[in-house]
Structure 1
Amino acid sequence: MTPSTADQPQMAVEDFEQIAHTAPETVTLEFIDGKLEVKPVPDGDHGTIFMWLLRQCMQHRPELDLYPEQGLRVETYRKGRARPDGALAPRRHFAGQGEWAEPDGVLMTVEVTSHDADTDKRDRHEKRFAYADAGIPVYLLIDREACTLTVYSELENGQYRQHPSYDYGATVELPAPVGITLDTEELKEYAR
């Protein structure tokens, strides 16, 4: 049986990498589920929320770094390429790996939603499946529209079995191998 056109990637991953490499700094490109996607440029609240999380990670787990926008090969499904807002991994983990690194050794990916039409499809669905399929143990989704944090964990057969959501202000336990407790009270200041 021949796959349908809808199941075919828009381009070869090598073509995507060439386009992404030459894109201007004002554009961030990803290749998720076989499709070229444009990731919006973060606004001030997005950056502030990321820095809040970065500080918490550094305080609780100084042997780890939260790498912003590190390109990851999420290849199991259609040779994807994603740039999570953050990738938590041991210090110096990505040294020498180049623009698109293997996800092995990444403990957690983080996405902070943007206020755009594609955030539901991209951050809440496609990336969740891509990160699980790539074997990343924890995916933290900070959803600015819902004012929640959703912690995806307990991988089984390429899917996250657990995905509790917490309102801004709650104490959030990030499970092993992350092992960090987040005090999210400050996030209430960035709710719209």
Structure 2
Amino acid sequence: MTALSDHAEVAPGEFEEFALIAGRLAMGIRFELVDGRVGVKHVADGDHGRIIQWLLRICIQARPELFLHSQGLRIQPYRGGFAIPDGSLAPADAFVGQGEWADPDQVLLVVEVTSYDTDTNLRDRVDKPRAYAETGIPVYLLIDRDSGEVKVHSEPDGTRYGRVLSVPFGKTVALPSPVDITLDTEPLQAWVR
């Protein structure tokens, strides 16, 4: 995600309109609003997509009542943020009848897979964990292709996640309640540069 401006603040209502229009005009990018800053999220590469497929299959097998959605979410209630996680684990019908930006109340987990761009550190390791914790999403899963680790953030307190567990690719990691899914991260080693 590339910041369009380091200083410009955007009102949530203005952002929704801007994102809809700009998203239709610009191919290969999506817009987000985190911490009052508009950012651009580029379309993912093939390995990134394969990682999401891998996780989707595991989630469906382990928890068939849930689905790994690619849905824009309204985050940070008091800051009016909007984010498009790489995946949101929620009941299959959680977003039925909602628009492009949905209420995250039924989301159990959000997942982000790092990209090979200059904004990954700020976006995926700093801004989004804070925003998702502020929103009250129970678990944030970061699949960090740069460090070769899966980072499981849990126990949000409204400001940050109280617990962060880092596990190297190749190990098994249990995602805590309310997710309750175990991941064998061995396959992730094949989908990094």
TM-score under structure 2 length normalisation: 0.92
1:127-166 per-position Cα deviation (integer Å, ceiling 9, x unaligned): 0000000000000000010111000001224321110101
Preserved contact between residue 77 and residue 133 of structure 1 (Cα < 8 Å) = no
Distance 1:188 1:80 in 2: 33
Query: What secondary structure does 1:126 align onto?
Result: helix
Distance 1:61 1:102 in 2: 21
Q: CA deviation at 1:75?
A: 2.9
1:37-68 per-position Cα deviation (integer Å, ceiling 9, x unaligned): 00121000000011000011011001000002
For structure 1, which segment, 40-49 or 8-17, has the greater mean C-alpha deviation from structure 2 after superposition? 8-17
User: What is the Cα-based RMSD across aligned positions, in Å?
Assistant: 1.4
Work out whether 1:43 is the aligned partner of 2:42.
no
Q: For structure 1, which runs of at least 5 residues remain unmatched after alignment?
A: 1-5
Identity value in percent: 52
Matching residue of 2:176: 175
Aligned counterpart for 1:55 among listed residues 37, 54, 57: 57
Preserved contact between residue 136 and residue 158 of structure 2 (Cα < 8 Å) = no
Q: CA deviation at 1:78?
A: 1.8
Aligned length: 185
Matching residue of 2:159: 158
Preserved contact between residue 9 and residue 33 of structure 1 (Cα < 8 Å) = no
For structure 1, which segment, 87-96 or 151-160, has the greater mean C-alpha deviation from structure 2 after superposition? 151-160
Work out whether 1:26 is the aligned partner of 2:25.
no
Change (3 A) 1:74 1:151: same
Matching residue of 1:66: 68
Q: CA deviation at 1:9?
A: 5.9
Matching residue of 2:3: none
1:67-100 per-position Cα deviation (integer Å, ceiling 9, x unaligned): 02x1111133521100000000011110001111
Distance 1:182 1:162 in 2: 18
Residue type at the aligned position of 2:19? A
Query: What secondary structure does 2:52 align onto?
Result: helix
Distance 1:63 1:9 in 2: 41
TM-score under structure 1 length normalisation: 0.92
For structure 1, which segment, 56-65 or 12-21, has the greater mean C-alpha deviation from structure 2 after superposition? 12-21
Query: What secondary structure does 2:118 align onto?
Result: coil
Query: What secondary structure does 2:89 align onto?
Result: strand
Preserved contact between residue 9 and residue 78 of structure 1 (Cα < 8 Å) = no
Preserved contact between residue 33 and residue 126 of structure 1 (Cα < 8 Å) = yes
Residue type at the aligned position of 2:111? V
